Chain A
Amino acid sequence: MHRAEVKKTRSKVRTFKVGLLGNPNCGKSSVFNYLTGLRQKTGNFPGVTVDKKTGSFYLSSELKIVLTDFPGTYSLYPTSQEERIVLRTFTNPKERDFPDAIIYIADLTQLEKHLLLFSQIQDLGIPMVLALNMADLAAKRGIQVKREQLEKELETPVVLISGRTGHHIEKLKERLKNVIDACFPPSADKECFKPQRSKLFYHQTSQEKRISKAIRELLPGLQSDYQALLIAHHYDSLPHLSKEQRQKIADIVEREEFDELRAQVEETMTRFRQLTPLVRKHLAKAGTENLLTSTLDNILTHRWWGPLIFFVIMLFVFQAIFSWASYPMDWIDSGFTNLSDYLARTLPENALTDLLINGIVAGLGGIIIFVPQIAILFFLIGILEEVGYLARVVYLFDGLMQRFGLSGRSIVALISGGACAIPAIMSTRTISNWKERLITILVTPFISCSARIPVYTVLIAFVVPPKKVWWIFDRQGLAFMGLYLIGIFAALGSAYVLKHILKAKETAMLIIELPEYRLPIFRNILYHVRQKVSAFVFNAGKIILMISILLWGLASYGPPGALEQARQAALEQAQSRQLDEQSTQNLIAAKEIEASYAGLLGKSMEPLIKPLGYDWKIGIALITSFAAREVFVSTMSTIYSIGSDAEPMRLKERMAQDINHDTGQPTYSLATAVSLLLFYVLAMQCMSTLAVVRRETGSWKWPALQFFFMTGLAWLVSLVAYQSLA
């Protein structure tokens, strides 16, 4: 009875799709966070890998809004893949993401520029609410806006908001509700399409009118002439058109001898010719310049100081990852150790308990331990992005990057690659030139990602004694920085090679906005960090946990009778050597794992890795690292904890104690550790990255090239390092 009631009320709820749109740097994401709170999820736009954030909220108990955050866009004439998404969606009324209404965010301090896309959307006839963001900042700077007059002239509800303080967000919702109620009255069965504004910003030329008419006859579902005109401009890159339709449109355009670029320039100029006086009329500027930005940029973008300051900032970022993260990591580490101890004491000694402790708990620990590092990195990069500094970095390094066939924008991908190559490679979508983008994609995995950090941590702790050098810098931190530098050199070096091999499809350009410096909105950064961390825990984490359990199986079982034989052999050997109880147990454990499936697998690849100084245990870790590099540590932990009857010890200590039973020498000498470090810096060992490269480049050719090039280089460098040090 009660249930039925609930269902009845639910069925009365009407759901509308609303798009959040605006230029880059308009403060869209803070508004998105305010409107949807934690009811957000990330997905993809159909057919492409551009992130799509959606969230929902209620305007009343009967009116639900599903809000889609579209990528920041300057106009419906796109120059990057992200901008193309907006065009694709808005030229196809049948698309799933096509919104019923739009919340358009414009920066009040740069209104004229931000209204270009607004005017284009209005000519499409989609109902809108115009939210003028940064109202607080504008007021401080003496900018006054005549809201009501603007509203009247644009025939669109206008709200002054602040994404920083949340000011008037409720009012924005109220106006959105009014728009939806007016355009889609609940009584009407069928939705009726009626443009919000009575006149157009752009009146098409007679040639454009003929073209639009012909296209609307060809594609009867279109809602406006402007939609048809956009299709005439972009039919080549619109996936929703069939080959046949494209051909027909091409014929129409050719018959009319339509000069697309000129028409685009003329249209844009026409729009600004109306927007400029409109903004001047309704916006009073006191004319105060932003002194903060000018002053800061005098130093931060200075030709010499700028790059120097950037490197100091990066040094602090790495130092933060390495030293701040060590505290929570120690807590997590000891927490999991205590949990294993507790489980070992309370549960019965059998295979299931063993699986739980050495497979599942160890695997979970191996995932959770990265959360501090990933969170700190995304937090710090998030701050740099939010304050507007990253755009300056693009400016500073574009010239240098170009020498290596990259774009200034590549530096953002390369820096993000310090967290994880996967989001970094996805971030290259903002690079409009294909060659620059491809090179960035191919070399980014050379940058040491956070998954390498645990490997570095264990191995550096092993070869470099902790010792303070100066102030907060210690030797381990510097060694860490050195590994990062090797990765950076490898990335730039291979980019340089690729620049001369690959052919360019079109000439590259770089025109980017340098936004004003602003205080970061920590709420936005925290949402961002939360999204990245959960993506890691739930996506990468799943693979890591599975590998961990698989490994436990491989290390606990072997061919029938093999483990028993190994045990007997170890016992005999121990007796003849007259070993004590503890050493006997260790020897048995070592021989047993050697006879297991894992041992067999590692041994089968020993010929290939022996010249680099690795034994079969490292061989197993190399194989499992292909799932994700950080698995190296959990693999080693699993292998060693299985071989131990004593209390679980930290991996570093176990490795230090590990003796090669053939030579009697420690397995991990300086030469082996250095060789292994270099291998992890350079080798392509991440199947998730390869999968993303395949998706982003549309072919297996590039990930294959990347795999052989990187791993081959790693093998050679490690070989040279080991042979010269050993």
Chain B
Amino acid sequence: MRALTEIREEEPAIISYFTDPRVGAKLLSMGILPGYPIKILRKTARGKTFYVKVGDNRFAIRKKEAACIVLK
């Protein structure tokens, strides 16, 4: 069980579940769902914000929220 914060850039992974219900609800409403492939494309200079790709869609999320995403 790894969180999204624990994988390297460009490393493919699959979303398993979300630990924080509030963050999870927001992610779901934006179409980021368990079972979807996820990948960190890049991070900002200080590593506080992630540029992620979920399926074909691109999102920016904070490290704090990324920690709520548990991978398979």
Contact = CB atoms under 8 A, between A and B. Distances in A.
Interface of A: 74-75, 77, 79, 109-110, 112-113, 116, 261-262, 264-265, 268-269, 272, 289-290, 293, 297, 301-304, 307, 391, 394-396, 398-400, 402, 408, 507, 509-516
B60 A510 contact: yes
B30 A113 contact: yes
7 contacts: A113-B31, A272-B33, A303-B44, A399-B48, A511-B62, A512-B59, A513-B59
Contacts of A513: 30, 57-59
Given A398-B49, A402-B48, A513-B58, A303 B27 contact: no
Contact of A110 (B22, B42, B56, B64): B56
A591 B45 CA distance: 62
Contact of B58 (A75, A408, A514): A514
Given A395-B49, A399-B46, A268 B60 contact: no
A112 B35 CA distance: 14
A265 B44 contact: no
B28 A398 contact: no
Interface string B10-37: 0000000000011111111111111000
A398 B45 contact: no
B7 interface: no
B63 to A, nearest CB: 9
Contact of B25 (A112, A265, A272, A394): A265
A269 B42 CA distance: 28
B44 A399 contact: yes
Q: Majority SS of interface residues in chain B? A: mixed
Contact of B28 (A268, A290, A297, A302): A268
B48 to A, nearest CB: 3
Contacts of B29: 74-75, 77, 79, 116, 268
Given A395-B51, A398-B62, A113 B57 contact: yes
A399 B50 CA distance: 10
Nearest to B45: A303
Interface residues on B, range: 20 to 34
Nearest to B60: A395
Contact of B24 (A265, A307, A514): A265
B65 A509 contact: yes
Given A268-B25, A303-B42, A511 B30 contact: yes
A116 B26 contact: no
B27 A511 contact: yes
B21 A262 contact: yes
Given A110-B56, A513-B58, A74 B30 contact: yes
Contacts of A75: 29
A192 B56 CA distance: 42
Given A110-B57, A265-B21, A391-B60, A398 B48 contact: yes
Contact of B45 (A293, A304, A510): A304
Given A301-B42, A303-B45, A510 B57 contact: no
A511 B59 contact: yes
Give 4 nearest A-B pairs by CB, closest first: A113-B31, A399-B48, A395-B60, A75-B29
A297 B28 CA distance: 25
Given A262-B21, A511-B30, A396 B44 contact: yes
B52 to A, nearest CB: 9
A77 B56 CA distance: 24
B25 A77 contact: yes
A512 B60 contact: yes
A510 B31 contact: no
A268 B33 CA distance: 10
Contacts of B22: 261, 509
A303 B43 CA distance: 7
A269 B28 contact: yes
Nearest to B50: A395
B18 to A, nearest CB: 8
Contacts of A297: 41, 51, 58
Given A113-B30, A514-B60, A398 B44 contact: yes
Contacts of A269: 28, 33-34
Contacts of B28: 265, 268-269, 272
A269 B60 CA distance: 22
A515 B33 CA distance: 18
Given A75-B29, A304-B45, A513-B30, 7 more contacts: A77-B29, A395-B51, A398-B49, A399-B46, A509-B26, A511-B60, A514-B58
B60 A408 contact: yes
Contacts of B51: 297, 301, 395, 514
Contacts of B31: 110, 112-113, 116, 272
Contacts of B33: 269, 272
A394 B56 contact: no
A303 B44 CA distance: 5
Given A74-B29, A261-B22, A293-B58, A509 B45 contact: no
Nearest to B66: A511
A112 B32 CA distance: 11
A395 B44 contact: yes
A26 B27 CA distance: 18
A301 B42 CA distance: 8
A399 B56 contact: no
A514 B58 CA distance: 5
Contacts of A394: 60
Contacts of A511: 23, 26-27, 30, 32, 59-62, 65
A435 to B, nearest CB: 15
A696 B61 CA distance: 26
A509 B62 contact: yes
Nearest to B33: A272
A304 B42 CA distance: 12
Most buried by A among B30, B49, B61: B49
A25 to B, nearest CB: 10
